Amino acid sequence: MVARVIPVDPFDLVVFGGTGDLAKRKILPGLYIRFLAGQMPEEARIIGAARSDLDDAGYRAIVAAAIDEFVPQAKRDAAVIERFLARIHYVAIDAVGEGGWKALAAHMRPGVVRAFYFSVAPSLFGDLAERLHAHKIADADSRIVVEKPFGRDLASARALNAVLAAHFDEKQIYRIDHYLGKETVQNLMAVRFANILFEPLWNAQYVDHVQITVAETVGVGGRGSYYDKSGAMRDMVQNHMMQLLCLIAMEPPYQFDPDAVRDEKLKVIRALEPVGPEDIVRGQYRARPADDGKAEPSYLEDVDNASSRTESYIALKVRVANWRWQGTPFYLRTGKKLRARTSEIAIVFKEAPHSIFGENESWKANVLAIRLQPNEGMNLSVMIKEPGPGGMRLTDVPLDMSFADALGEEGMDIPDAYERLIMDVIRGNQTLFMRGDEVEAAWAWTDPIIEGWDARGDRPKGYDPGSSGPEDALMLLHRDGRRWREIRG
């Protein structure tokens, strides 16, 4: 099955921060791959805009090096790269001064889609928005794309929304959450709303609980000083995991339309109950001793802050207070230096109400597991009769759907989240972007949780690298008579 490619309209995309890490690792390689796929038209142009003093040739060399480093060899075609680079330009610009803005204005072409990617620190968003407006570079149809973090609490998120809203309508603002660009995440909506099988069971009557796990094997690495001001709650839960929870918990939108979908997600966020200390476990990874292979520093050493109370792991029990989910908890956990790298959503159904087979030790509830990484796919565990003459013994088997197996190599040639999201910006489709009120509602739920542990002076619990997190996190489920699924890569 080959993915269909529909070219987008011609565009001028200005990448502010075009020499930065994100532009080099994700945005520019992603655009090249869309060009290779035939989705980015020949008339499209990309204009890098950053502080460095470069000309077009100098910037093209940077883009070529980024393609070399971050695009898989099989997709690097010298002739295509040459044609792609011819579409690249550069304007040196100062976001907080006047330098470069007249040159940028002169660069823009009439009659094509204009998009502006703010791949710079959020403190510059207001300056960029204001100057795009003052120099009449942006028009009523232009789009701006903004990166995470979108605030660090409700007040800062509101302030960011306000500086953008001063010059752009909500319809023009694309807040990136790259989790929403993942193929499986969109498949969640297809599975729920294009099949009759699941939706009737998708409620507290049949779902015992939901587990959402985002586990990483890496530590904070070179991002220590940034991460220590953020932590797992702000970095992963408030945005990415909240979005996953919304897609699982939301009511069917009346149509697959950006605002219809986002209205339903917003209702879920607003229905989230406050989370008390008894339903939160936070952790910090310990050092890996030398006798356990290669010695590795602890979280506190990684962030160079011996008194840090920031969490590199968090587990929470979350309740959605509405009719559909009354009594069905959502358990969320995410952390660094865990046993395996995996992202998974598991819908754990209730057990059958009565067993006609008597007591059976191997009896297990059905689980629909949706894997985001690695090996995207879905797996539904069902009980069957154990093969053989041993009588009516039961066992559970997975109905496994690996997308790679089901769709074949070519079917799996699916765009990376950034590729898809940038093309959606050009197409003017906001479905997979967070709306301002969603972000604010998510912070309104998050703030009291963080303020709570700050006020209590709670310290995260230690956990060993390569483990499943702090021991206390096991208790979060044990005391409810449940258990976490194994973290497996």
User: Catalytic site residues?
Assistant: 240
The CA R_g of the chain, rounded to the nearest whole Å, is 24
| Residue with Cβ nearer ligand NAD (403 or 443) | 443
Residue 21 is a binding residue for ligand NAD (CB under 6 A): yes
Single residue of 58, 75, 94, 297 touching ligand NAD by CB under 6 A: 94
Contact flag: residue 50 with ligand NAD (CB under 6 A):
yes
Give me the half-sphere count of Cα atoms (radius 13 Å) on the Cβ side of residue 60.
13
Closest CB to ligand NAD among 211 and 343? 343
Residue showing the smallest CB distance to ligand NAD in the complex: 20
Phi-psi sector, 38: left (phi>0), alpha (psi -120 to 50), beta: left
Out of 11, 14, 20, 138, name the contact with ligand NAD by CB under 6 A: 20
Q: CB under 6 A: which stretch of 19-27, 60-68, 133-141, 331-339 binds ligand NAD?
A: 19-27
Nearer to ligand NAD, 15 or 36 (CB): 15
User: How far is residue 49 from each of residues 35, 94, 104, 369, measured CA to CA in Å?
Assistant: 20, 9, 8, 43
Q: Which of 336, 301, 341, 300 is nearest to 465 (CA)?
A: 336
Q: Is 96 in the site for ligand NAD (CB under 6 A)?
A: yes
Crossing angle (nearest 10°) for helices 258-271 and 436-456:
20
Closer CB to ligand NAD, 133 or 148, in the complex: 148
Q: Establish if 469 lies at the interface with ligand NAD (CB under 6 A).
A: no
When asked if residue 126 is in the footprint of ligand NAD (CB under 6 A), the reply is no
- 120 binds ligand NAD, rule: CB under 6 A: yes
| Interaction between residue 19 and ligand NAD (CB under 6 A) | yes
**Is 410 a residue that touches ligand NAD (CB under 6 A)?**
no
Nearer to ligand NAD, 146 or 477 (CB): 146
The minimum distance between CB 135 and ligand NAD, in angstroms, equals 14
- Pick the closer one to ligand NAD by CB: 146 or 378: 146
- Window contacting ligand NAD (CB under 6 A); options: 5-13, 87-95, 440-448, 459-467: 87-95
Q: Is 334 in the site for ligand NAD (CB under 6 A)?
A: no
Q: Which stretch binds ligand NAD (CB under 6 A): 78-86, 114-122, 252-260, 458-466?
A: 114-122
What are the backbone dihedrals phi and psi of residue 320, each rounded to the nearest 5 degrees, phi first?
-105, 110
Report the residue from 75, 148, 192, 485 that binds ligand NAD according to the rule CB under 6 A.
148
Centroid of chain to Cα 478: 29
The stretch among 17-25, 252-260, 439-447, 457-465 that binds ligand NAD (CB under 6 A) is 17-25
CA distances from 357 to 238, 281, 354, 389, 396 (A): 44, 39, 9, 16, 14
Residue from 95, 108, 314, 315 touching ligand NAD (CB under 6 A): that is 95
| 216, 335 Cβ separation under 8 angstroms | yes
Nearest approach in angstroms of CB 365 to ligand NAD is 37
| 56 binds ligand NAD per the rule CB under 6 A | no
Least CB distance to ligand NAD at residue 132 (A):
13
Interface residue list for ligand NAD (CB under 6 A): 17-23, 50-52, 93-96, 119-122, 124, 147-149
